[in-house]
Chains A and B, each alone.
Chain A
C-alpha cells in the first residue's frame, strides 16, 4: 500500500509539469494579452509605451523562455507577481481569497452530506414510494434550475421583501466593531443564502449516488442472509446495509478535494463575494498569465491529490481492491 502511495505521489510531479505546460501553451495562444487590456483604445498609449510594458512583463521573450522562467520560479514555490496593475504577488492574491471560498464550500458540502445522504438512503429503502419520487424531483430541481435566476428571486424575497437577510457581500459595514459572536453571526447571515443555494444545486449528485449504492447493497447476499436469520429490520438496515453503502462516500470526499478551492464565478458575482471564482475569471479576462497559471496549478495539484485519496479510500474500504 505504502509503495502504491509513494509511486502515485512521484507520478504527480511529471503530471503537474505536463499540465502546466499545456496550460501555459493554451493561455499564450489566446489572442490579446495583459497589456492590450490596459492600453487598447487608449489615446495616451503609444507603440513605445506598449513596447516598454511588454519588456516590463517579460512578454517580449520567446515562449519557452517565459515558460522556463515560470517553471523555475514554481520549483521554489514562487508563484510570481500578478500582471494586473497592482502587481501584487500571485500567492498573496490567492491566499486572501481562499478563506471565504473554503468556508462557503465546506459549509455547503456539509449541508449536502447532511441532507443528501439521508434522502438517498431513505429513497432506496422506500424505492418507488411517494417520498422517493418527491425527493427525486426535489433534488433534480436543484440541479436543473439556472442558479443566477434562483439567486435573484431568493435575494428579493429574503433581502428586500422580508428583510431577513442581507442582500450581498460577506460582512456588514460595522463588522469591525462587532464582538466575536457578533462577527460570527454577521458572517453567518451573509453566507446563508450562498451556502444554501450552492448546497441545493449539489444535492442531486450525492443523493442519487447514495441511493444507487444503497440499492445495490440491499440486494447483496449477505443482507438477504441477515434477513433470513431473522434479524430485526432496523438492524439489517443500519448495521449491514448502511455501513457498506457509506464506504464509497469516502471516495467522494477524496474527489471533492479539488472543488474545495473552486468558486462559482456566477454566485460570487451575484452575491458580491470576493472569492476564487471571480479571481480566476478576472484573471482570464485580463490575461493575467501568472495568476491563471497559479490557480490552475493549485487546482491540478489538488485534483491529483484528491484522486489519490479517493483511490486509497476505495482500496481501504473494499478489501477486494488492493493495489
Chain B
C-alpha cells in the first residue's frame, strides 16, 4: 500500500525537521542504550555496600559520588535506568495492548459493544488514577511487577479512546468498504488498514505514557511504595537523596537530572510525533 507508506515517510520527514523532537529522540535513545548495555557506562557493582565510604563526593573512583551505604552512585543510576525503563515500557506495553484491543472492538463493532465499552472507560476515568495506583500497590505489595501491572491497568483508557476514534473514522472510508466487498476477513482489515493509520496517535500515547510511568514510579518511591531498595530505581535514589540534599548534593542532583532529562526527552519526542502526524497541522 504505497499510500500509507508514503504518508508515513512524510511524517518521519516532518519529525526530523523538528529539532526539539530530534533532541528528545536522541535523549531517549541514549538512555535506552544505558539501560540495555550498562557495562558500557560503568564497571562498578551497584549493590556493593561499603560502610566506610558513606556519602562521599564525586571523585576519580566514584565519578558521581557514593550513596548512604557507600554504593557507587553512577552504577546505581545506570542500573536504575534499566529498572525505570522496564517499568515504563512494560506498563505502557500493557496499557497499549489493552487499549488497542478494546478500542478496536468498540470502534469496529459499534452499537452495543461500543456503548458498553465506553461506559466502562467512563467509569474507570472516574477514579483518580494516582490513587488507584497507590491503593492497589498498598493493598498488594510494592514489587516491580505489581507496579508495572497496576500502572498499565490504569493507563489504557486514553489509548482506547484514540484507537476507537481512528477505527470509527476509518471504518467508513472507501478502501475499507472495498476490502470488505472483496471479502477480506475482519482481522486482515484491522491489521492492514486500520492499525497503520492509528499508529501515530498510539505512538504518541506510548511515548507520553513511558514518561508518565517514570514520573509515577518516582512519586510512588517518595511515598515509600515504589520500587523497593536495594534494587536501584531513579525514584528511590532520589527519594533517599532528598534527605541529604544539603551536604550530599550529588545524591539528589544526578537522579533528579536523569529523571528530568529522560522524561522531558520522551515528552518532546511524543509531542513531535503528534505534530508531525496530525494532518491538520501541516507546517507553514
Using a CB–CB cutoff of 8 Å, the interface residues on chain A facing chain B are: 15, 18-19, 22-23, 26-27, 29-31, 127-128, 133, 136-137, 140-141, 143-149, 152-153, 156, 204, 208, 212, 215-216, 219, 258, 262, 265-266, 269, 280-281, 284-285, 292, 296, 299-300, 303-304, 307
Contact = CB atoms under 8 A, between A and B. Distances in A.
B203 interface: no
Contacts of B282: 219
Interface of B: 19-20, 119, 122-123, 125-128, 131, 134-135, 138-139, 211, 215, 218-219, 222-223, 235, 238-239, 242, 245-246, 252, 256, 259-260, 263-264, 267-268, 271, 274, 278, 280-284
A179 B237 CA distance: 45
B128 A299 contact: yes
B126 A299 contact: yes
A127 B283 contact: yes
Contact of A208 (B219, B242, B271, B284): B271
B211 A144 contact: yes
5 contacts: A15-B123, A140-B271, A148-B219, A269-B223, A300-B127
B134 A281 contact: yes
Contacts of A127: 283-284
Contact of B259 (A19, A146, A300, A307): A146
A19 B123 contact: yes
A216 B278 CA distance: 10
Given A128-B283, A266-B219, A136 B123 contact: no
A127 B278 CA distance: 15
Given A144-B215, A146-B219, A152-B245, A300 B284 contact: no
Given A133-B20, A265-B223, A299-B127, A143 B267 contact: yes
A136 B271 contact: yes
Nearest to A215: B281
A156 B246 contact: yes
Given A128-B284, A137-B20, A146 B260 contact: yes
Given A127-B284, A146-B215, A285-B138, A266 B126 contact: no
A149 B238 contact: yes
Contacts of B281: 212, 215-216, 219
Contacts of A149: 238, 242, 252, 256, 259
Given A140-B267, A144-B211, A284-B131, 14 more contacts: A19-B123, A19-B127, A22-B123, A30-B135, A127-B284, A133-B19, A136-B20, A140-B264, A141-B264, A144-B260, A144-B267, A145-B256, A281-B134, A303-B125
B157 to A, nearest CB: 12
Given A133-B20, A265-B223, A212 B278 contact: yes
**Closest A-B pairs by Cβ, 4 of them:** A30-B139, A144-B263, A144-B264, A300-B126
B47 to A, nearest CB: 23
A204 B223 CA distance: 25
* Candidate in A31, A140, A146 with the most chain B CB atoms within 10 angstroms: A146
A284 B134 contact: yes
Contacts of A212: 274, 278, 281
A262 B126 CA distance: 12
A296 B252 contact: no
Nearest to B136: A26
A266 B252 CA distance: 17
Nearest to A204: B267
B235 to A, nearest CB: 8
A228 to B, nearest CB: 16
B284 A303 contact: no
B117 to A, nearest CB: 15
Given A128-B283, A143-B267, A149-B238, A280 B138 contact: no
A246 to B, nearest CB: 18
A153 B238 CA distance: 13
A18 B256 contact: no
B128 A18 contact: no
B118 to A, nearest CB: 12
* Candidate in A137, A148, A156 with the most chain B CB atoms within 10 angstroms: A148
Nearest to A127: B284
B276 to A, nearest CB: 13
Nearest to A147: B219
Given A140-B267, A140-B271, A148 B283 contact: no
B138 A284 contact: yes
* Candidate in B126, B260, B264 with the most chain A CB atoms within 10 angstroms: B126
B131 A280 contact: yes
A52 B179 CA distance: 69
A31 B268 CA distance: 41
Contacts of A15: 119, 122-123, 126
Nearest to B259: A146
Nearest to B23: A137
Nearest to B222: A148
Contacts of B127: 19, 23, 296, 299-300
Nearest to B262: A144
A98 B243 CA distance: 30
Given A133-B19, A143-B267, A144-B263, A307 B122 contact: yes
Contacts of A280: 131
A129 to B, nearest CB: 11
Nearest to A148: B222
Nearest to A216: B280
A265 B246 CA distance: 24
